[in-house]
Amino acid sequence: MKYILSVITIGSFLLLSCGKKDTGTTVVTPTNLTVNAVASTDNSGNVAFTASATNATTYDYDFGNGVFQTVPTGIVTYKYPASGTYSVNVIAKSSTGQTISQRTTVTVAVTQSLIFSDEFEANGAPDPSKWGYDIGTGSNGWGNNELQHYTNRLENAFVSNGTLKIRAIKENFSGSAYTSARILTQNKFSFKYGKVEVRAKLPVGVGTWPAIWMLGNNITTAGWPACGEIDIMEHKGSQLNRIYGTVHHPARFGGNADGGTRDITNATTEFQIYTMEWNATSIKFLVNGSVFHTVANTSSLPFNQNFFLIMNLAMGGTFGGAVESGFSNATMEIDYIRVYQ
């Protein structure tokens, strides 16, 4: 009897064990994803997106310009900062993490507004509400072995007859052989994304190094090149009609910077228009409306923060090269500078 009871007990245990079922979470898969995009007709850059999918609980939007957003309802209006055609990817996700995606293309028109300008109409010193000065020789010739001493004197930076003149002069001054000026909008005006347009006539003289450029607002804490640098226009007197457009950042700076050039005519005898167009996905350099270099911008680069403007005329240095022996003075002349956003 004991033997028979044991067999029955074991058999009952086996039967009960085999009768149990796996009650794990059921996988939920989203299906039937649709994405609709309607761009506004007022050139504001607004696009209304509607995404819908069966069994979806959230929607991840990639707006095609480096900006991402998670939307529980699937409905969102996004304002693009610049005109262009964008490839938008939407990922619908279920409660169990399963996904389905769909991509759509949207073309956006954006009318930019003027947010900063100087037309240089008032004679005398540059407008102090817009411009400050870098003074002296910096560290190791402003990091480039430059030869000039920057001043805030009228001899080196002044407005007359509707243009700003930045003038480099050969003279002994505080231990330097040249003087010049470097004016900037630091702590007065800065911006993130937009278009800068400058109409300028460049100086004549081997060894001159005029530049219209920008630095990140965080240079005082992050240092260079971590702050980022955007050179809208650089020129060297030894290459009379060659224009440079360049960016510097921690992965590419100095002699390894990301830049391009364009050869034009009459850079030093006529006014030309130098432009930089900047958004979350690209930085473009133009001369007289023609693009000559484009840099891909990403979230890993320092070009997604506020930058300030700089204009200067350096002498010699690592880029300007040796100054010709007969040099006496040279002037960069700026008709206007305008920033749109």
Tokens linked to 66: 């480096």
For the record, the structure tokens of 10 come out as 């074991």
3-state secondary structure of 209: strand
DSSP letter (8 states) at residue 42: S
* Enclosing H/E stretch for 197: strand 194-201
Phi, psi of 60 (to 5 degrees): -100, 120
| Spatial contact of 323 and 314, defined as CB atoms under 8 Å apart | no
Q: Are strands 176-180 and 148-150 parallel, antiparallel or unpaired?
A: parallel
Which of 8, 311, 327 is CA-nearest to residue 134?
Answer: 311
| Residues 164 and 157: beta-carbon distance below 8 Å | yes
> Could you give phi then psi for residue 14, rounded to 5 degrees?
-65, -40
CA of residue 311 relative to chain centroid, distance: 18
Integer-rounded Cα radius of gyration of the chain:
30
Question: Is 25 exposed, middle or buried (CB count within 10 Å of its CB: 0-12, 13-18, 19+)?
Answer: exposed
Rounded-to-integer distance, Cα 4 and Cα 9, Å: 9
Residues designated catalytic: 229, 234
CB under 8 A, 24+ apart: contacts of 50-57: 50/74, 50/75, 51/75, 51/90, 51/92, 51/102, 53/92, 53/100, 54/30, 55/28, 55/29, 55/30, 55/31, 55/94, 55/95, 56/30, 56/92, 56/93, 56/94, 56/100, 57/93, 57/94, 57/95
